[in-house]
Amino acid sequence: MTVREYDTVLLKDGREASIVEAFDNKVFIADVGDSPEDWETIDITIDDIERVIPNR
């Protein structure tokens, strides 16, 4: 699976995340949350990602 900057992904814990930065397709910085009021920026790895969500 290839994950790129700005992709939306489904995490294995069920949350959706927007990739902010990608490092060697192994480690990522991502934003999770529904709106700017509750966004959280987290570090994730490729192992945390279930799949890339196609553009809507």
> What residue segments make up the domains of the chain, in order of their start?
8-53
Q: CB–CB of 1/51 below 8 Å?
A: yes
- 8-41 as b/e: b if 16+ CB within 10 A: bbebeeebebbbeebeeeeebebebeeeeeeeee
Condensed to tens digits (0 to 9), the pLDDT of residues 19-32 reads: 999 999 999 999 99
In this structure, how many other beta carbons lie within 10 angstroms of the beta carbon of residue 44? 19
**What is the spatial order of strands in the sheet that 40-45 belongs to?**
40-45, 27-32, 16-23, 8-11, 49-53
Can you give the pLDDT at residue 14? Answer: 95
pTM of the entire structure? 0.88
